[in-house]
A and B are shown apart, each in its own frame.
Chain A
Amino acid sequence: MNLRRILALINKDLKKTTREPAVLFLLLVFPIVLTFVFGLAFGGIGGGATTSFDVGLLNLDVTGPNTEWSDSFVNNLTSSEVFVIQEFTDNITGQAALQQGNLDAFIIIPEGFGDSIESYYGSPFDPSVWTNTTINLYVDSGSMMAVSAVPSLVQKALMETIFGSESMLIGLPVEIDSPALVESSTLSQWDFMAPGIFAFAAIFLTMIVAQSMTYERDEGLLKRLRTTPVSSAEYMVSQTLSNMVIAVVQVALVLASAFAIGYRPATGPAGIGFAFLIALAYSLVAVGFGLIAATISKSADVATGISFVFIMPQMFFGTFMPLGGATEVIAKFMPSKYITDALTTLFLRGAPVTSTIIWFDFAVVSILGIALILVGIALFERFGTK
């Protein structure tokens, strides 16, 4: 292993990134554009504004002696600054408004709501004599923000209604932190997407690796190098390192552009450092996939197509696209998902860098990266250099 050879090869690769417009665009310009576009479209710019949800309300508990409970619940919902309450008089128009996207959520307070609470206060320790009722809550499944934030905020208003506002400060041995977090900060959908952008940008390294390896093979450059004393280990190390450099630059660019449009991740320098670290680990994954794609590609053009076999699923299941049901399961197999998850934990939830979960994500990406790159090198050297 000779450092001079490795540095010379890295230099050659990095020059390609800055000199070839297509590569420059895909690896460096595209992440910036992507960040700006998504930031603009999903509310990153002007991030000072308070997020609010349009919530429809149908109060069916309007008769009888105990209606002050439902009034109080409505008050609590209204006084929370995140809800803009719109009253409805029937279910059908409310549901329609939700379906048309005019509402983020629709709440139905059932008849007998006040009676339920009274029955609870009549004998708090004997659930068998309570009269149970259910609040119906419908949330716009198209809004990631609403799905994740509304139920807990409603829950909070309900607790305040039943136990009074002090109940949030005292009482339970276990406390749920997230409603407070969601309400006190000014989150937009962009805040939920931003962590995914980091993975999204790095995914395309796979394509560049596949293209450049097939190109160097087809143009006889690999052979030419093989007539010199450079070893294939030195070559592979240089490939990996140059892509690591690009991954670091990508993270820096995405962060800088996100900052420029007002994004403030809920983490400190250590969390930012972690973002670079996991991006480095991910570049191993990308190079590994790139080598595998290059092995099975007959030409650089084919390599572009084949790379998408590795890129597309990671893009759809592992970045910022909303997931649910089966897609959640598929996502578990996407390396990019683990970056997105770790960065979501840090940047959105504000977890400390000592959290086990992010190091678990890091371990998954690293181990997978090392495994893929070894497999990629073995396959490429065995079948891909012809």
Chain B
Amino acid sequence: MSESAIEITNLTKRFDDITALDNLSLEIGWGELFGILGPNGAGKSTAVNILSTLLEPTEGTATIDGCDVVFDPDCIRKIVGVCPQEPAFYPHLTGEENITLMGDMHLVPKDILKERIKTMVEKIGMEDHIKRRAKDYSGGMIRRVSMLMALINDPKIALLDEPTVAMDPKSRHAVWDFIRELKTQGKAIILTTHYMEEAQELCDRVAIIDEGKLIELGSPTELMEKHQAKNLEDVFLKLTGKKLREAF
């Protein structure tokens, strides 16, 4: 295990004339639940996609557990679990089959896979629905299944891109509890969100980004104290003059 779980150095990503990420540097430690907070279009997914080897950065480097995202993608794909912003799943398969498929891709031993699915499904509150076809799921169910699909390989590092967006409160709390437990297992977790209460509730540290740039970094309490704000929403407002959810 390398010293820090994730190291992002001067990472920049440009799409034609849009600079989605602008010289971002971050270091995330083991056992840390790290939030990337920013409005829509801030560059959160771009950062996650680079870390999950789907996009190549224009400039800069990123390593996960010492593996370079550009030069050693195979190393990274073995140790990360990625929950994409759009929960991709096979609608003709059941929730369980979708998760099993991901476990098969990671070659999780069959007996462990079965056992793990059972426990995880219970933890996230899907035991009554897991044998139904995913096409019949509600949005919240799909997101919960998508989360398990991402984490079935018991990854050292979890990259969760807005896992609770548009989720009903009940599902959201189930997911929050689930994420908190991941943290206790010593995993490094990146959680992107544009819900400040989510970042405040869960994260050890947050990076606030806007228009691809890091504008603030620290623990939620630190940041609120520093800016004399009552919550992170307020911090963002003071920093940018914009409200988080209206900033897009």
Which residue numbers of A lie inside 8 Å of B, CB to CB?
2, 4-5, 7-9, 12, 15-16, 19-20, 219-221, 223-230
A223 and B104 contact, CB distance less than 8 A: no
Q: A8-B105, A12-B93, A15-B97 are in contact. Are A224 and B88 (CB under 8 A)?
A: yes
Q: B101 to A229, Cβ gap below 8 A?
A: no
- Cβ–Cβ < 8 Å partners of A230 in chain B: 105
Could you say which interface size class chain B belongs to?
20 to 34
Q: Among the listed stretches B73-81, B115-123, B200-208, B223-231, which one makes contact with chain A, having 4 or more residues with CB under 8 Å of it?
A: B73-81
Name the residue on A nearest B48 (C-beta). A227
A2, A20, A220, A229: the one contacting B84 at CB < 8 Å is A220
Chain A facing B: main interface SS:
helix
- Report the minimal beta-carbon distance from A264 to chain B, rounded to whole angstroms: 38
The answer, among B82, B88, B133, B153, for a CB contact under 8 Å with A221, is B88
Docked-complex contact B88 and A223, CB < 8 angstroms: yes
**Given known contacts A5-B105, A20-B92, is B53 in contact with A227 (CB within 8 Å)?**
yes
CA distance A8 to B101 in the complex (A): 6
* C-alpha gap A228/B104 in the complex (Å): 10
CB of B102 closer than 8 Å to a CB of A: yes
Whole-angstrom distance between the alpha carbons of A8 and B97 in the complex?
10
Please name all residues of chain A whose beta carbon is closer than 8 Å to the beta carbon of B78 when the two chains form the complex.
Answer: 229
| Minimum CB–CB distance for A273 against chain B, Å | 32
| Contact among B77, B92, B100 with A228 in the assembled complex (CB-CB below 8 Å) | B77
Kindly state the separation between the CA atoms of A221 and B153 in the bound complex, as whole angstroms.
17
Instruction: Chain A residues near B84: list those with CB within 8 A.
Output: 220, 223-224, 227
CB proximity to A under 8 Å, residues B15-72: 52-54
Q: Which of B88, B89, B106 contacts A229 (CB 8 A)?
A: B106
Q: Contacting B88 at CB < 8 Å: which of A4, A5, A9, A219?
A: A219
A227 CA to B81 CA in the complex, in Å?
Answer: 8
Q: How far is the CA of A230 from the CA of B102 in the complex (A)?
A: 10
Closest Cβ of chain A to B95, distance in Å, is 14
Distance from B190 Cβ to chain A, minimum over Cβ atoms (Å): 13
CA distance A230 to B84 in the complex (A): 17
- Counting chain B CB atoms within 10 Å of each CB, the highest count among A15, A220, A224 belongs to A224
- The answer to whether A227 and B52 touch across the interface, beta carbons within 8 angstroms, is yes
Contact of A228 with B102 at beta-carbon distance under 8 Å, contacts A12-B93, A15-B93, A15-B97 already known = yes
Q: Report how far A5 CA is from B133 CA in the complex, Å.
A: 21
- Can you report 27 residue pairs joining A to B where beta carbons are below 8 Å apart? A2-B107, A4-B104, A5-B104, A8-B100, A8-B104, A12-B90, A12-B93, A12-B97, A15-B97, A19-B92, A19-B133, A220-B86, A220-B88, A221-B88, A223-B54, A223-B84, A223-B88, A224-B88, A226-B53, A227-B53, A227-B54, A227-B80, A228-B102, A228-B106, A229-B74, A229-B106, A230-B105
Chain A nearest CB, measured from B108 CB (Å) = 10
Distance to closest chain B CB from A89 (angstroms) = 68
Q: Cβ of A229: which chain B residues have Cβ within 8 Å of it? A: 74, 77-78, 105-107
Cβ-defined contact, B82 with A16, below 8 A: no
Of all A-B residue pairs in the complex, the 4 with the closest CB atoms, nearest first, are A8-B104, A220-B88, A228-B105, A227-B82
